[in-house]
Structure 1
Amino acid sequence: MNFRRITLLCVTVLMLTAIASFPVSAQAKGQDDGILIIYSTLDGKESPQVKMLDLLAGHFTSHVTVRKDSDVTASDVKGKEHVIYYGQTKRKLSKKLVSLISGVKEPVVAIGYNAGQISQFSGLSLTRKEHVYQIHSSTERNDVSLESGLHVLSVSGLKGKALYTFTSGDGKARPFIWKTEKSNVYIGLPNLLNDNLIVAKELREAFGEKAGTTLLYLRLEDISPMSDETLLLQAGTYLYKRHVPFILSVIPVYLNPETGDKVYLSDKPKMVKVLKKLQSMGGSIIVHGYTHAYRHSETGEGFEFWDAKADQPITSENADDPPSILEKEQAFPNEQAYKSYLKPFQEKEETYTRQKLTHAIEDLTSAGLYPLAFEAPHYTMSEYGYQIASQYFSSMFGQVQLSNTTWKTSGASPFLTKPAMLHGMTLYPETIGFVDTSKQNPLSDMQENISQMIDFEGGVAGGFYHPYLGMKYLPELVDQMERIPDSEWLDLKKTKQTVKTDKVEIHTSGDGTIQVKNGVSAVGEFFDHHRQTPLEKALWILSAVVLLFVIMFVSYTFYLRATLKKRMFKERRSLG
């Protein structure tokens, strides 16, 4: 009997151990797999081109790892589904790195320079660099004309199949994208910022993904408390009648740059009513900053999460303070010293950013408007800013800033992506632009971009429209977007989203409903959110002091009157 009990106990313990260890193993696998990007740049930093490759790779996995060539270890390579090497600059690769990449069992993708040093591309030779205006794909009959041209690196010496060629000046067809006999792919495009559509296509082919349905979305942009409610309702109602789910990009506070006065949504009940109505008609709210302004710029025109005047990250919790101009990394002896220098500035940026995002989410929620994602004003934000934003939002819209030293470089992938640089956020990219009334044909750029998305297939055709334009261009814009074959409109409520602060949680599970937990009281929200500057804080303190004195004065007056009546009553009794 004892033997049986001991045996049963041992079997039970082993089973429980196996069950307990299974989730850990599954989690470990989930952390190990994904895509590894190895890059070679002149200064060893993640250039805008590397970040663009991160955006592209993030479409195929939620686990993108980005490493510079000298930092790659065996643990980085182990278990990865795919490895991409990008040589932005010419360099002699270390034997260790070559050995690690050569040991990868899955097909490798190499882009740009230095690929010939890797065993998968042994024999590859880069014969010339050219700027071409016409290319030919092995899967298409006709040549593709390129209006702005393309920088290409022609290759030779590989066995396999040419995927893309161009005709050189001597009339010969020269390949610049090649697939080897073992399915390794070389892409001779050194500039990934301008040529990302072709790279995206080739990554899709290399990773075995077929083009699916094109996702359409349209944002009604820059909606603030001072927007025209009538025009906004008109645009939203039109989209609703055409069965188009739409995005409402809302700025909760309008900032007057001349007076510094702020207008809150709570000051505009008519606007709140219109937004709530549009929310019930298929509109999905997203946060477009808190004021969409920094320092003394006007809401909708200024930046908010980037100091555009100094062209650097936010360095002050208070936008009225003069900026601290950041030193360049070259002024420090090493990277660690530079990071130590930046730390106090990043702490101020974090405080500022958290305050803005918290206020935006909680102001909207208190008004019965439930934001489901984020859009950075003018698409500008530091690398650290994206990391902070990821703690509040699961998704963002638009484009992303691809440099931490200037706001002037931004971009987006042609499809949904979850890159490493967004720390878990999904990007719904803007790919077709907006109606630009400064041009003779305000829709011309959008039409051209829509045509590109038709050729790409299975991406995202996302753009925005300003409601103040009225209805002049909106019907044609919707018609143009709907000419994309095999497409469907994005209904953000029917996706899984999470937006949260310490007091608010907003969730969508994909069935079209929104679950909200709101711990913000109306009184608390007023006092917490509506005191933004030191001057306003001083005025609140002064008001409280004045109110206290008024109460004391009134109380003392009543006390004196009561004392006087009591004395007069005593005098009458003594006299009488």
Structure 2
Amino acid sequence: MMKGKARLMVFAMIIMLWIQPALAEAAEEKEEDVLVLYTTTDGEVNADVRLLDMALGAFADTITFKNAADVEAGDTEGKSHIFYYGVTKETLPGRTAEVIDTFNGPVTAIGYNTAELGGGFDFVGPAICGTVTALSMPGKPDKTRQIEPHELDGITIEEGTRVIVEGLGAETKQPVIVENQGHYHVAVDSLVPPFSTYFSQVLYEIFDEEAPDDTPAFIRLEDIHPMADPEQLMDVAELLKEHNIPYMMAVIPVYTHPETGEELHFSDSPKVLQALRYMQDNGGSVVLHGYTHQFRDSETGEGFEFWDVEHDMPIYHGQEENPDMRTEADFDSPEDYEVWQEENLAFEREYIEKRLTRGIQELANYGLYPLAFEAPHYTMSQNGYNVVSDYFSTYVGQVQLHDKDWRTMETTPLASNPTFFHGMNLLPETLSYVHPDDEQAVQKMMDRVHQYQVTDGGMAGGFYHPYLGVERLEKLLGEMEQIPNVEWMDLKEMENTTSAENVVISSGDGTIDTTIDRTGLMTASLDYPVYHAKVLAQKSMWGIAGVGMSAVLLFGVYAVRQRKKEEDIHHG
């Protein structure tokens, strides 16, 4: 009998050894395919839903969005998770609850209408609103943070429900994120900081992912254009090199004078160009920060290149044109309105494509290779992000969330791949910057680090203007180097791809590879061959000068020898 059991055990071990590699491979290939159901005022994806998109983009491979009122049973097929976001209060059809009730994976409900989502959420009920001044995670004292007073919709929970995040008030504790049998409820109506940091931390649990130990960080040197001070650039570069910190350089290829309209390129500022090349070779990675960083007559570095801030709308018109401000009500039919909208989007696409192409080509012509993009002032339409994704695989900065108000922008704690970025990776900026007129700016940035460390692996990314000099940068670096397990991001170590006509740039493992059609590049604009002709002329002039100096030196040597010979003859 024992021999038979032993044989079975040996056989079982052989089977396990045989299938273990296949199981491991299957685990590695596990796809997180998420269905997001939402309820919004107009039934469309809005800024709040895009905030959720940004958070989920750090974990999910695929995200599908659907109005909760339109969901069908087949929509959950192959899905690993369901998230419902009730942005507005609404009565949902019974079909929505039926679909959710029959789903076997984790379900997360955010905001309103949780009672409409079926029996799985019977453990949650309404309660009186309460004001909280801190957030915490029970059992994790390092995750407690003070916040500005915030009124939350109160909830009651059944016994056996686990409180993951709670709000702390003067005399009360209030559940904020709770779980019961694989159903999660998030009792907030918007996923903005500080709630976004706690939500992203809980996503590690929801997606059954191990949280990282390190804190990724980056410094971006902002608004470097042809009128920058080359000595200041070199001072900053040397300091960062001394600290052995890789960094990003937000580069603007063209400076436009706000009064005269005169354009200056890096070919007009050889010392700035020399500094940028040195920086690229010694820890810096170029980020294209627009082409001129201005629209109409604003100064480079101050303007909104991809957004008409004066009329708070996308670029649907020329710089000297008055925008067409019509709405759908001004058209005879929805079809006419749709045609007009398509014309606007086509104009915007052509405008953005021209500037991205010029920016990439011009920098490549100078030997500068942009690995990512940052929109000036982070302002860009949803169509704009789609266009940029055709040129760049990586975006750095904050994100504008809809086309109605440029001020509706936000960030997210983790590097992400949101669906509205159309395949681009987002490296979020979380710390803001060293404001020139704020002596407490560095401390405020470190306060933000503390907030974003609620999320394990939360990004610590901010920017600095080189014209401020090295003293304040040294202070900032000294503080950031104290972040526990800080890991400085290096774009060259990451896989990035930038492409435009005649130029393909890629990076990875610390190197930059380029494929450049020099002939095509030279024919794309007269500026490119003119620049190389100017460089050749300068080298030729130095060569001629060198020959002249050599002749003078040889003549001097000859004259000295002749004089010495004559003296020897005279004395002899």
Q: What band does the TM-score fall into relative to the shorter chain?
A: 0.7 to 0.9
Contact 1:54 1:66 in 2 (8 A): no
* Residue 340, structure 1, aligned to residue 342, structure 2: no
Higher mean C-alpha deviation, range 213-222 or range 38-47: 38-47
Q: CA deviation at 1:74?
A: 4.0
Q: CA deviation at 1:113?
A: 0.8
* Residue 442, structure 1, aligned to residue 437, structure 2: no
Higher mean C-alpha deviation, range 104-113 or range 332-341: 332-341
Mapped to 2, the partners of 1:167 and 1:279 lie a distance apart of: 48
Cα deviations by residue, 1:258-286 (Å, 9 ceiling, x for unpaired): 11111011222221111111111011111
Structure 2 letter corresponding to 1:467: P
Q: Which residue pairs with 1:516 in the alignment?
A: 514
Mapped to 1, the partners of 2:528 and 2:408 lie a distance apart of: 33
Q: Which residue pairs with 2:265 in the alignment?
A: 264
Q: CA deviation at 1:422?
A: 0.5
Structure 2 letter corresponding to 1:179: E
Mapped to 1, the partners of 2:454 and 2:243 lie a distance apart of: 25
Q: Which residue pairs with 2:124 in the alignment?
A: 124
Contact 2:306 2:314 in 1 (8 A): yes
Contact 2:365 2:528 in 1 (8 A): no
Aligned ranges 1:141-290 → 2 under 5 Å:
141=141, 144-158=144-158, 159-166=160-167, 171-180=171-180, 182-194=181-193, 195-212=195-212, 213-290=214-291
Q: Which residue pairs with 2:308 in the alignment?
A: 307
Q: Which residue pairs with 1:395 in the alignment?
A: 394
Q: Which residue pairs with 1:481 in the alignment?
A: 480
Cα deviations by residue, 1:416-448 (Å, 9 ceiling, x for unpaired): 000011111000000011001222323232121
Mapped to 1, the partners of 2:327 and 2:203 lie a distance apart of: 35
Mapped to 1, the partners of 2:522 and 2:168 lie a distance apart of: 70
Cα deviations by residue, 1:299-323 (Å, 9 ceiling, x for unpaired): 000011111111001012x32x223
SS at match of 1:350: helix
Q: CA deviation at 1:70?
A: 3.0
Contact 1:54 1:419 in 2 (8 A): yes
Structure 2 letter corresponding to 1:260: G
Aligned ranges 1:415-434 → 2 under 5 Å:
415-434=414-433
- CA RMSD between the two structures: 2.4
Q: CA deviation at 1:494?
A: 0.7
Aligned ranges 1:344-355 → 2 under 5 Å:
344-355=343-354
Q: CA deviation at 1:44?
A: 1.7
Q: CA deviation at 1:160?
A: 1.9
Mapped to 1, the partners of 2:64 and 2:75 lie a distance apart of: 8
Contact 2:37 2:65 in 1 (8 A): yes
Contact 1:398 1:430 in 2 (8 A): yes
Unaligned runs of 5+ in 1: 1-25, 532-576
Percent identity, aligned pairs only, is 35
* Residue 405, structure 1, aligned to residue 404, structure 2: yes
Normalised TM-score (structure 2) = 0.82
Q: CA deviation at 1:344?
A: 0.6
> How has the CA–CA distance of structure 1 residues 331 and 164 changed in structure 2, closer, same or farther, with 3 Å as cutoff?
farther
> How has the CA–CA distance of structure 1 residues 136 and 277 changed in structure 2, closer, same or farther, with 3 Å as cutoff?
closer
Structure 2 letter corresponding to 1:378: H
Cα deviations by residue, 1:201-240 (Å, 9 ceiling, x for unpaired): 2222222223212111100110001101110111011101
Q: Which residue pairs with 1:494 in the alignment?
A: 493
Normalised TM-score (structure 1) = 0.82
> How has the CA–CA distance of structure 1 residues 96 and 198 changed in structure 2, closer, same or farther, with 3 Å as cutoff?
same
Structure 1 letter corresponding to 2:295: Y
Mapped to 1, the partners of 2:70 and 2:340 lie a distance apart of: 23
Structure 2 letter corresponding to 1:278: M
Q: CA deviation at 1:103?
A: 2.1
> How has the CA–CA distance of structure 1 residues 177 and 33 changed in structure 2, closer, same or farther, with 3 Å as cutoff?
closer
Contact 1:151 1:190 in 2 (8 A): no
Contact 2:129 2:151 in 1 (8 A): yes
Q: Which residue pairs with 1:451 in the alignment?
A: 450
Contact 1:165 1:177 in 2 (8 A): yes
Mapped to 2, the partners of 1:36 and 1:291 lie a distance apart of: 40
Contact 1:74 1:100 in 2 (8 A): yes
Q: Which residue pairs with 1:20 in the alignment?
A: none
SS at match of 1:326: coil
Structure 2 letter corresponding to 1:514: I
* Residue 297, structure 1, aligned to residue 295, structure 2: no
Q: CA deviation at 1:76?
A: 3.6
> How has the CA–CA distance of structure 1 residues 138 and 200 changed in structure 2, closer, same or farther, with 3 Å as cutoff?
same
Q: Which residue pairs with 2:6 in the alignment?
A: none
Structure 2 letter corresponding to 1:152: L
Q: Which residue pairs with 2:83 in the alignment?
A: 84
> How has the CA–CA distance of structure 1 residues 479 and 493 changed in structure 2, closer, same or farther, with 3 Å as cutoff?
same
Contact 2:80 2:106 in 1 (8 A): no
Mapped to 1, the partners of 2:261 and 2:32 lie a distance apart of: 51
> How has the CA–CA distance of structure 1 residues 360 and 175 changed in structure 2, closer, same or farther, with 3 Å as cutoff?
same
Q: Which residue pairs with 2:541 in the alignment?
A: none
Mapped to 1, the partners of 2:394 and 2:469 lie a distance apart of: 29
Contact 1:310 1:325 in 2 (8 A): no
Mapped to 2, the partners of 1:154 and 1:133 lie a distance apart of: 14
Contact 2:135 2:147 in 1 (8 A): no
Contact 1:288 1:375 in 2 (8 A): yes
Mapped to 2, the partners of 1:190 and 1:311 lie a distance apart of: 26
Structure 1 letter corresponding to 2:405: T
Cα deviations by residue, 1:55-99 (Å, 9 ceiling, x for unpaired): 000000232222222343445422122111011111111122222
Q: Which residue pairs with 1:324 in the alignment?
A: 323
Contact 1:454 1:484 in 2 (8 A): no
Q: CA deviation at 1:33?
A: 5.1
Q: Which residue pairs with 1:44 in the alignment?
A: 43
> How has the CA–CA distance of structure 1 residues 308 and 488 changed in structure 2, closer, same or farther, with 3 Å as cutoff?
same
